[in-house]
Structure 1
């Protein structure tokens, strides 16, 4: 799940097409004042390694920060943590209240799938703990209609069914999923890391993360002392702020306070 896939050129092309769809959708929204009517909500929270956080969004949806961990790839032997063979951290997710599904409404609306994704705040894909907190702010989107979530889950399963369906079938499902994401009612958000406690990884940063590490000094954090060194390090604690832009007609729970605002692109 967290190893970089190979021989998936068709998926890369599909994701490039998705950017075109998203751009066209944003341009259409910019010309339509009604599409710019959103409710802006600000949330704050914190998580300790292995623990979760959640906030009710209303209309039966919940935003979650879910702990994740597991082997990078293949069997794990020896001191897998110090060898950097185990990833740890958190995933952002949006689910129906009382139901955690995969893929969730945030994953589906925030491609790419099966590769590095802004929803993962973790030591995945070769990232070290310091790289994970330096990549910020993290931007994401999420579906807000149950029927869209159900259909997107079906299409996602077809797109990812490598070896089980023909290229033509997967391409058709990919096109249908892109079209759905281009028209479905969605919310958007961004996460800022306000503070973190980490054990820095001692491996070299992956190429894609080198630009982020140059800005690490702008992210408040503390390096835990007397911790066992490891290739990827560990994320021990994080405090964060999340800004959400919900559809203007959104029915919010009483504990949330929102203000009318232009929808984030």
Structure 2
């Protein structure tokens, strides 16, 4: 199966909901959420716009999720749909999977992603995601439209502020070498395995983190969410 995504830079205003909304000068803001999570446990925080952001526990670490604050969630969440490449190495997965050692997972820092901010944006991305990832030869038009929607989605980052880990003993794989470049400059604590025997990939024990998410036009942040000036990445 061949999955291609053309990341098209959109230089016109992007509509959210029913109308076209353009940020006013000085109106760009970012939501900031900080927390700490231990292995096997999750974290979530309502951010507004009917959404919550969080870290979902998976077998070897955590997955970044942006999902509805209430009610059922779709198989693919709003961050996954807006953050290619799909079904591949992803900044949304903080884990020792795909050959990444614990120190590599921490060293990929910060991690940048996007998210669908409205049900309409989510549905549009889902429709094109389904077409592009299931077609044997996705059409250039579908590729371009998916790229346009991805480029229009609000930007966000996950920054690891501190971490506790048991390092892996294996050599670094090539894919990790390309992205895991900030381990030595990220605060961390090295722990030793209880039995004194290391493993090839090691273990992530806990992380302290900060999410920063663009506030798209029309979204009302949840009460108590910290807001800071943003960079107006939404055109």
What TM-score, normalized to structure 1? 0.75
Report the Cα offset of residue 215 of structure 1: 3.4
Q: Which residue of 1 aligns with 2:98?
A: 125
Pairing partner for 2:218 from 249, 258, 261? 249
Q: Which has the higher helix share?
A: 1
RMSD: 2.4
The answer to whether the aligner puts 1:91 opposite 2:63 as a matched pair is yes
Is 1:263–2:232 an aligned residue pair? yes
Say which SS state the counterpart of residue 230 (structure 2) adopts: strand
Closer/same/farther in 2, CA of residues 68 and 60 from structure 1, 3 Å limit: same
SS at match of 2:206: strand
Structure 2, gaps ≥5 residues long = 14-21
Equivalent-residue separation in structure 2 for 1:43 and 1:223 (angstroms):
25
TM-score (norm 2): 0.84
Tell me what 1:43 maps to. Answer: 33
Report Cα offsets for 1:234-261 as digits up to 9, x if no partner: 1111101122221243211111132443
Deviation at 1:189, TM superposition (A): 1.4
CA 1:166–1:241: 2 relative to 1, 3 Å: closer
Q: How far did residue 53 of structure 1 move?
A: 0.4
Structure 1 consecutive aligned stretches of length 4 or more whose deviation exceeds 3 Å: 32-37, 170-176, 211-215
Match of 2:157? Answer: 190
Q: 2:48 maps to what in 1? A: 58
Seen in structure 2, the aligned counterparts of structure 1 residues 224 and 47 have a Cα distance that, compared at 3 Å, is: same
What's the CA shift for 1:203? Answer: 0.9
- Structural mapping, 1:218-229, within 5 Å: 218-227=185-194, 228-229=197-198
Compared CA separation, residues 180 and 261, structure 1 to 2 (3 A): closer
**1:144 is matched with which residue?**
117
1:110 aligns with 2:83: yes
Gaps (5+ residues) in structure 1? Answer: 1-6, 70-87
Relative CO higher for 1 or 2, CA cutoff 8 Å, sep ≥ 6? 2
- Cα distance in 2 for partners of 1:68, 1:232 equals 15
Q: Name the residue aligned to 1:76.
A: none
